[in-house]
Structure 1
Amino acid sequence: DANRKLHIITWNVGSAAPPDDITALLGLNVGDGNTDMYIIG
């Protein structure tokens, strides 16, 4: 299916940990909620 929705992010800030609330990092607070796959590197 050519209509897949991906959300791709990276976390490359040395030894810093991601925030406790990753809602904004993953974009969960925006968009239509129809993301098919999250890719985190």
Structure 2
Amino acid sequence: MNAYVSLGSNLGDRAGNLLLGIRGMLDANLEVIRLSQIYET
């Protein structure tokens, strides 16, 4: 099964928070296939 996941952060170390989210998915044995750039709006 494939799933598309979008992460966001608007407090503190935003890039660091995104990396923590990605690390959490990897720690849960989820396969991260591809990452996009970080978009700021």
When normalised by structure 2's length, the TM-score is 0.36
Which one has a larger percent helix, Structure 1 or Structure 2?
2
Report the structure number with the largest CA radius of gyration.
1
When normalised by structure 1's length, the TM-score is 0.36
Which one has a larger percent strand, Structure 1 or Structure 2?
1
Point out which structure has higher relative CO (alpha carbons under 8 A, 6+ apart). Answer: 1
